[in-house]
């Protein structure tokens, strides 16, 4: 029989970062960019356009906008990039996903936690991680498309720094999440903003600043 309070029970969630956490010392988007260059899908002209946009944003002191620059994909067909991304993931990424991280995810799932991958990397790459890790939800950087091609701009909140904290707050309301009894796994000091919202923050493969911050605040520190 269904518990009459089941619908009102809050969800326990494990928010898990990707770059540097599931894959140690690696950036999935940076590797994808190099893969596209190697496959001659991203051309010298695409790179030049990307650099021009970055320079313009730098000159205008748009610091975070540099990370939001995806103009190397401008004009590329969405379906074709999605297909290439899946091949790239299977070939270059999946062998490097931490076995320890996968065991941790399985353990959390067995304990009743909802698994949410939260990363600033491209959303279609996050989808590949989601399927590989059997996560419940994957959130990354969505790209704007028009008539089936990418525009080079991003859509929605950029999942980095404060952006991750904003996303966590939205998810808390949308899915009735019990943040006090949830986990956050991440490797970078920029993740502190969302980790502080969550009851059990865990610094994984932490850089120096996050390691010091975690130690000062008695957070769990581990390696995958």
Q: Could you list the residue range(s) of the whole structural domain that residue 84 is in?
A: 6-222
Residue bearing tokens 């600033």 = 120
Hey, how many other C-beta atoms are within 10 angstroms of the C-beta on 178?
14
pLDDT band at residue 60 under the 50/70/90 scheme: low
Computed from CA positions of residues 132, 71, 143, 117, in that sequence, does the dihedral angle turn out positive or negative? Answer: positive
User: Cβ contacts of residue 203 below 8 Å, gap of 6+?
Assistant: 186, 187, 195, 210, 211, 213, 214, 219, 220, 221, 222
Q: Which residues of 100-125 are buried (b: 16+ CB within 10 A; e: fewer)?
A: ebeebbeebbeeebbbbbbbbbbbbb
- Residue 194's nearest CA partner among 16, 10, 11 is 16
Average pLDDT over the chain, rounded to an integer: 92
Q: Is residue 176 part of a domain?
A: yes
| Total number of domains in the chain | 1
Hey, how many other C-beta atoms are within 10 angstroms of the C-beta on 142?
16
**Structure-block tokens of residue 7:** 């619908």
- What pLDDT does residue 90 have? 97
pLDDT band at residue 2 under the 50/70/90 scheme: very low
Q: Is residue 153 part of a domain?
A: yes
User: What is the separation, in whole angstroms, between the first and last Cα of the chain?
Assistant: 40
**Structure-block tokens of residue 95:** 């062998």
Hey, how many other C-beta atoms are within 10 angstroms of the C-beta on 75?
13
Least confident of 74-83, 121-130, 153-162, 202-211: 153-162
pLDDT at 99 over 80: yes
- CATH code at 177? 3.40.50.1000
Q: Is residue 135 part of a domain?
A: yes
Rounded mean pLDDT, 29-58: 91
pLDDT in tens, 169-180: 999 999 999 999
pLDDT in tens, 108-119: 999 999 999 999
pLDDT band at residue 203 under the 50/70/90 scheme: very high
Q: Is residue 1 part of a domain?
A: no
Share of the chain above pLDDT 90, in %: 83
- What pLDDT does residue 66 have? 57
* Rounded Cα gap, residues 49 and 71, in angstroms: 7
Q: Is residue 77 part of a domain?
A: yes
pLDDT at 94 over 60: yes
Rounded mean pLDDT, 67-85: 93
Q: Is residue 99 part of a domain?
A: yes
pLDDT band at residue 3 under the 50/70/90 scheme: very low
- What pLDDT does residue 5 have? 46
pLDDT at 1 over 60: no
Rounded mean pLDDT, 158-187: 95
**Structure-block tokens of residue 41:** 């899908």
């Amino acid at each position: 029989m269904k518990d009459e309070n089941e619908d009102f029970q809050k969800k326990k969630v494990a928010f898990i970062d990707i770059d540097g956490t599931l894959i140690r010392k690696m950036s999935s988007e940076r590797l994808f960019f190099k893969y596209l260059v190697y496959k001659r899908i991203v051309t010298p002209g695409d790179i030049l356009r990307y650099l021009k946009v970055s320079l313009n944003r730098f000159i205008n002191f748009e610091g975070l906008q540099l990370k939001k620059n995806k103009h190397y994909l401008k004009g590329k067909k969405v379906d074709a990039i999605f297909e290439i991304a899946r091949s790239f993931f299977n070939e270059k990424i999946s062998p490097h996903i931490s076995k320890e991280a996968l065991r941790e995810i399985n353990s959390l799932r067995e304990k009743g936690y909802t698994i949410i991958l939260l990363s600033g990397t491209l959303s279609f790459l996050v989808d590949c991680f989601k399927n590989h890790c059997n996560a419940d939800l994957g959130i990354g950087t969505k790209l704007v498309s028009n008539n089936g091609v990418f525009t080079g701009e991003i859509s929605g909140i950029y999942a980095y720094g404060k952006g991750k904290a904003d996303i966590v707050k939205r998810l808390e309301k949308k899915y009735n999440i019990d943040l006090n009894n949830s986990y956050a796994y991440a490797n970078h000091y920029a993740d502190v903003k969302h980790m502080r919202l969550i009851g059990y923050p865990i610094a994984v493969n932490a850089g120096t600043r996050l390691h010091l911050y975690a130690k000062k605040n008695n957070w769990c520190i581990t390696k995958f």
